[in-house]
Amino acid sequence: MAQWIWKFGEFEIYHNALVHNRRLQYGYREPPVWKIESPDSAVRFKKRVTTDGGEIWIYASGYFAVTVGTGYHDRNQYGGRSRITLEPGATEISITVSGADSFPCLFVDGVVSTDGAWSADNLTGDFSPVGTYLQFDTVSKSPAVFPFCREPLPYVRKEELEHGLLFDFGKETFAATTYLNTGDRLFVSLGESREEALDPEWSVIHFDLQPEDGTVSIPPQAFRYIYADDKTVEIHAEYEYLPLRRRGSFHTGEDIIDKVWETAAYTFHLNCREFFFDGIKRDRWIWSADAYQSLFVNRYLFLDRDIEKRTLIALGGKKPFQCHINTIMDYSFFWIISLWEYYKTYGDKEFLYHIHPQLREVMAFCRGRTDEDGFMRGKRGDWVFIDWAPMDKTGALCGEQILYAKALRTYADICGVISQFDEGCRETAEVLRRSIMDSFYDTEKRVFIDSFESGKRNVTRHSNILAYLFLPLSVQQKNDIYEHVLLNDDVTQITTPYFKFYENQVHCEHGNTTLLEQSIREYYGSMVHTGATTLYEEYDPQKSGVEHYAMYGNPYEKSLCHAWSASPIYLLGCYRAGVRNTGIAYDRFEVRPELGDLKAFNAVVPLPDGEVQVCFDSKQLTVRSTVPGGTLIFNREECPLPANRLMIRKLQ
Amino acid sequence: MAQWIWKFGEFEIYHNALVHNRRLQYGYREPPVWKIESPDSAVRFKKRVTTDGGEIWIYASGYFAVTVGTGYHDRNQYGGRSRITLEPGATEISITVSGADSFPCLFVDGVVSTDGAWSADNLTGDFSPVGTYLQFDTVSKSPAVFPFCREPLPYVRKEELEHGLLFDFGKETFAATTYLNTGDRLFVSLGESREEALDPEWSVIHFDLQPEDGTVSIPPQAFRYIYADDKTVEIHAEYEYLPLRRRGSFHTGEDIIDKVWETAAYTFHLNCREFFFDGIKRDRWIWSADAYQSLFVNRYLFLDRDIEKRTLIALGGKKPFQCHINTIMDYSFFWIISLWEYYKTYGDKEFLYHIHPQLREVMAFCRGRTDEDGFMRGKRGDWVFIDWAPMDKTGALCGEQILYAKALRTYADICGVISQFDEGCRETAEVLRRSIMDSFYDTEKRVFIDSFESGKRNVTRHSNILAYLFLPLSVQQKNDIYEHVLLNDDVTQITTPYFKFYENQVHCEHGNTTLLEQSIREYYGSMVHTGATTLYEEYDPQKSGVEHYAMYGNPYEKSLCHAWSASPIYLLGCYRAGVRNTGIAYDRFEVRPELGDLKAFNAVVPLPDGEVQVCFDSKQLTVRSTVPGGTLIFNREECPLPANRLMIRKLQ
């Protein structure tokens, strides 16, 4: 079956550029703040074929020229002819596509058809296998148009105000809107909150529109409320979404937990579009560490491989790699670490081959910015982030070195899988690990300090959480960290949902069986209690009312639908249902159910070719996997989990 | 005065992409065959300014966002506002432009205006001074539109044929055409020759048009004749050209020499467009070694700096450099050598700073492809060209090594001028020079052989001409080459105008005073005798009639207007008028008039800020320079050439 093909990565580069040029703020478009790559303008596709002869039809996103045969004298040039008859036998077809409005794509059908077996270059002679996705399988499904679904979305309430109308769609959504029955101008102001929609100046997304014949449309945006300064206007909205099948579920019967899970699932789905977005109102960009967390949530909700692949390709960019991903040092490391997470989940070795040239480029960039003592410090243009939190960032920052060491190990692991030279990264990682222990591990406090250069020996949750998760430590060292930092209220609390992900991960890894539920009930739960229909970018339970919506010094700039807040889906699936991939692509996995502080739950966790169902209450545990490879671990006993066998453990 | 600005190089990258996507062949568009770079999609412009306060107006090729001030907390964000009031004092203005249909350009006017003092980056933090050209000095003169001139061009003859009309414009031209009074379809076939226009199948440029309301237009193309299959059609043509002032001239009174010079000048002007083109019908691309020769012709005709600069930037491309320029190994070397030629002519040190990062990239690419013995052999995807001529290309080819050594020396010279580390290139060049002498210099024949690996010890003009011109040789070695190769009819003759350039250069350098005129009269002159109104890509005096138009196996595929055939302009100016820049930007120059085989001549040679006039006949020589710095060398005497003084030497 024929498919549209392109030079590997160009689909993602193209859509990444579109995505990054769609940000709106206060009535204007906000340009990207990091380098945005462009697709190659001309691409040559080729394949060696053997046929009995016959016709082929050629379609391309731009103009093209076809050559059949090899060698300067032994080839036929067909120019832009779209219908060609091949002679029987073996030959090579070469088709160059240029001048596309989007990016060079090719579709050939007939006795030869385009598929993943073709290769492509950007006219440099450096051919590699093409990119393709299953859904672009007919000529009419152009890869230049991202295949979203739409369905009509009625508002639930229309409120007449002094100078206009306020429409409430009942919950946060992402929809294209058409305004009917308007005058020749119309102001509309969208809001994730009612207050935002009613503030024409400070609503992040608003428009001065010039309708024609009483009608005007705007492309899909995030909103719950829409204010229009016209009392006759009618709105037709169409919800736009990526058709992902929700394969994971988690029900407890405890209202607030179930509500958080459901809200997180909806939040996450809204942010799953061309790529994993940070938020749907703002920035609608792809941030590497946000995406890293999305990989974990995705595993327990959609287990959709393609969105992970698209996101990782787009983040990696193209040569030359001149600046950290998203300009953030830690985000380059998270990208590298994410590649391994992707491979582990899907076993997609071919992807590792494809991404390796860019991975090598990124790693070379990082190593080129390493100081003589092996540590990475912020250079011109680098953002040393870790989290929005007070931290001692003097000189080398602990968390960055930990992630760098992990990235180096990951690089070596990836090279191992695809039999590439790791350029000494494994040894460099080990040397760095030892330097980290020497410089950042406080042997008195038995925890990690942020900076050894300032002399302040400041201790944060951040450095210690990252050490716990990404550094090889002994049980004793982990116990020390857990006790002296995570359970120590004198160490400043984590306030962002972003770092709550890692903190809860540590709690769960460490076997604490109540803090996850406490966090969900008190932190995420109280967010939902404010009326949130999706989860926020940041949340401070001490605030109230419109205070919740302010950020970056502006009253409504906070994203109220942010992907990194969806971590409860991952945490409940991984540490309560207890399903974890322990091999490659779940060829081995364990099910280690844990009731925690819950009374009961009924969960489904997706696997690549099946699923695991786990029902757990005070009376019994039942586990069923539709595929083999699993090990049930319960009450310190391990037993194999055969496919389609109901495993029951009575508890009383 | 405000000017449009852009990230340095992006103007050329943008127009280079347009140019390379305009090739037409046999009714279809022919895609490029080498990598075509795209402009960066988002560019950030900035400047530190001190003002008394006041307004600025902002215009951009895409959407933009403005920030005034520095530091996260000490700045004002104005989004896409196009009119901003600055507070008095010092601050920094930063404007990011994205989403342009063309490439990101900025124009700011008011109390601050855009000019070459701004800097720009592609959001990587790597700022460098912007690019700009003087002519883009008002908002309405968009850099996205290349500023050509047009003027009406009437045809000189209309011939009625059986099924249509043939229009003759009297000479080769490049013009936009509009067809009036047509039916609802029209076939037109353009020809550089009458025969080509009348061959609907094999005319390189032809169109099946669908006029609307009896009118249809096609963008500028090369032609002398146009055939239309409609007897009622009328053509309105507009000659499109780059407004270059012809500053050099050369009159001899000998009809054929003057005609060749004039034809060469017209040929060259037609090929001077966005960049130095190879030919105006085909390919209309930029080829590095063709452009190298154009630098020399330009010096004696227009001395236009900008077209050289544009061409060299476009050829250099962008990082990553993955394939030789035009895919040809020698063409990468000629590009490097050309940079020095440009610097020598205009003294533009700033350009060397600008181009240095890409130059380093190209040099690193070349050195990375060097074999252990220091020679460069063709690797996958490399075209080892030198000329269309029989040559022994086994293993390392002599001419390539000579050009490589010259490129290495040039690299070191350039680094010297801008105080950059030459990465050992000067020593590498010297080592390579010695290896060339050891391996390619035949001590018995006392000339260079093509290949030392084949054992054939084949001698060509090509290897020896390149050695003569680009390798440091002793007078004896040069004499040997001249005698044993250039004056030796047993060594296969040069047949391309491309290599005639170098061969005539050697004749002139060696002091031969008749062969240049012989070549002009017999080779170029006989080309003009065939009725050529411009000079051909290739010419074989043995052929006749339509045979002259065939190439690449097709009857009219030869370009009949090819820049590299314009070398007589350079050769006459340099070796007869004898004007040569011997310093930097003509701060020193020599005038070494030589009558050669001419009876007389009257020449003007342009200098950056003036000109040299040389009149020479059997009775006297008069020389006048409008600027100082010159040395008159005549009859083995050297004397200074003061500005605006008429120097007369009586000969009888």
Same domain for A153 and A55 = no
Same domain for A170 and A114 = no
Task: Identify the helix (H) or strand (E) that includes residue B50.
Answer: strand B42-51
Specify the CATH number for the domain of residue B473: 1.50.10.10
Domain membership flag for residue A125: yes
Long-range contacts of residues A438-445, Cβ cutoff 8 Å, at least 24 apart: A439/A375, A439/A396, A440/A398, A440/A401, A445/A484
Residues of chain B with pLDDT under 70: none
Same domain for A171 and A125 = no
- Check if B32 contacts A (Cβ < 8 Å): yes
In which residue are the tokens 């409860």 written?
A: A568
**pLDDT given at position A601:** 98
Contact B35 A27 (CB under 8 A): no
Contact B320 A319 (CB under 8 A): yes
Contact B25 A126 (CB under 8 A): no
Residue A483 DSSP code: I
Domain membership flag for residue A100: yes
B20, B106, B124, B325: best to mutate for the A interface, most A CBs within 10 A: B124
Residues of chain A with pLDDT under 50: none
**pLDDT given at position B71:** 73
Same domain for B87 and B21 = yes
* Helix, strand, or coil (residue B501): helix
In chain A, what's the furthest Cα-to-Cα distance? 84
Residues of A in Cβ contact (< 8 Å) with B15: none
- CA dist B284 and A473 (Å) reads 64
Q: How many angstroms away from the CA of A105 is the closest CA of chain B? A: 14
- CA dist B58 and B114 (Å) reads 10
Same domain for B228 and B183 = yes
Same domain for A173 and A88 = no
Give the model confidence (pLDDT) of B449-481 as tens digits.
999 999 999 999 999 999 999 999 999 999 999
Same domain for B157 and B70 = no
Domain membership flag for residue B559: no
Contact B27 A79 (CB under 8 A): yes
Which of A80, A99, A129 terminates a domain? The answer is: A129
Residue A446 DSSP code: T
Contact A17 B41 (CB under 8 A): yes
**pLDDT given at position B381:** 87
Residues of A in Cβ contact (< 8 Å) with B39: 38
Indicate the pTM of the whole model: 0.96
**Is B532 in contact with B598 (CB distance < 8 Å)?**
no
Domain membership flag for residue A342: no
Specify the CATH number for the domain of residue B39: 2.60.120.260
- Check if B497 contacts A (Cβ < 8 Å): no
Specify the CATH number for the domain of residue A593: 2.60.420.10
- Check if A170 contacts B (Cβ < 8 Å): no
B43, B66, B122: best to mutate for the A interface, most A CBs within 10 A: B122
- Check if A518 contacts B (Cβ < 8 Å): no
Domain that holds residue B88: 5-129
Domain count, chain B: 4
Q: At what angle do helices B10-20 and B305-316 cross, to 10 degrees?
A: 80
- The complex's ipTM works out to 0.95
Query: Beta strands A83-86 and A54-60: pairing type?
Result: antiparallel
* Helix, strand, or coil (residue A279): strand
Q: How many angstroms away from the CA of B25 is the closest CA of chain A? A: 8
Task: Identify the helix (H) or strand (E) that includes residue B179.
Answer: strand B165-180
Q: How many angstroms away from the CA of A326 is the closest CA of chain B? A: 10
Domain membership flag for residue A106: yes
* Six-digit token string for B566: 């314009």
- Check if A41 contacts B (Cβ < 8 Å): yes
Contact B40 A38 (CB under 8 A): yes
Domain membership flag for residue B296: no
Same domain for A90 and A14 = yes
* Six-digit token string for A315: 């983040």
Domain membership flag for residue A387: no
Which of B493, B517, B548 terminates a domain? The answer is: B493
Domain membership flag for residue B548: no
Same domain for A115 and A16 = yes
Partner residue opposite B98 with nearest CB, options A21, A25, A124: A21
Query: Beta strands B620-625 and B610-616: pairing type?
Result: antiparallel
Q: Which one, of B404, B327, B320, B319, lies nearest residue B370 by Cα?
A: B404
- CA dist A52 and B525 (Å) reads 54
**pLDDT given at position A112:** 98
Which of B473, B493, B513 terminates a domain? The answer is: B493
Same domain for B66 and B155 = no
Q: How many angstroms away from the CA of B99 is the closest CA of chain A? A: 7
Same domain for A177 and A89 = no
Residue B304 DSSP code: -
Same domain for B358 and B472 = yes
